Amino acid sequence: EAQVTQNPRYLITVTGKKLTVTCSQNMNHEYMSWYRQDPGLGLRQIYYSMNVEVTDKGDVPEGYKVSRKEKRNFPLILESPSPNQTSLYFCASSLSFADTQYFGPGTRLTVL
């Protein structure tokens, strides 16, 4: 089944404790992206990747890092999480930047 997977689905952590949210797709998509969703703000892009080893900032990249060492994986790294990073995070992928993006199931992150 073609899908985008994220892990973990739920995470409660404390300020300053490094964490990684994994994202994997099995569709051989070149383009991958991370979004965060906050009430009243819709979804905002954090980072995106056009292909392996090619990443760039979206609208709200502060406090986040990404890497794209393999085509299928695009982890989101929070080196020192803060409470303002409490949010619902989505990973998405598409065949190319112009194609429809398919979303993962979301990761609910709470930073205390």
106: closest CA among 94, 90, 93?
Answer: 90
Nearer to another protein, 50 or 77 (CB): 50
8, 16, 83, 105: which one contacts another protein (CB under 8 A)? 105
Size of the site for another protein (CB under 8 A): 25
* The two structure tokens encoding residue 4: 């985008």
Nearer to another protein, 18 or 51 (CB): 51
Residue among 43, 23, 44 at smallest CA distance from 32: 23
Report the SS3 class of residue 49.
strand
Pairing between β-strand 107-111 and β-strand 10-13 as defined by DSSP bridges: parallel
Please report, for residues 37, 44, 49, 84, the alpha-carbon distance to residue 40 in angstroms, rounded to integers and kept in the order given.
Answer: 9, 11, 26, 15
CB of 47 to another protein, least distance (A): 10
- What x/- string results for residues 9 through 48 when contact with another protein is judged by CB under 8 A? ----------------------x-x-x----xxxxxx--x
By the criterion CB under 8 A, which residues form the site for another protein? 31, 33, 35, 40-45, 48, 50, 58-59, 88, 90, 92, 97-98, 100-103, 105-106, 108
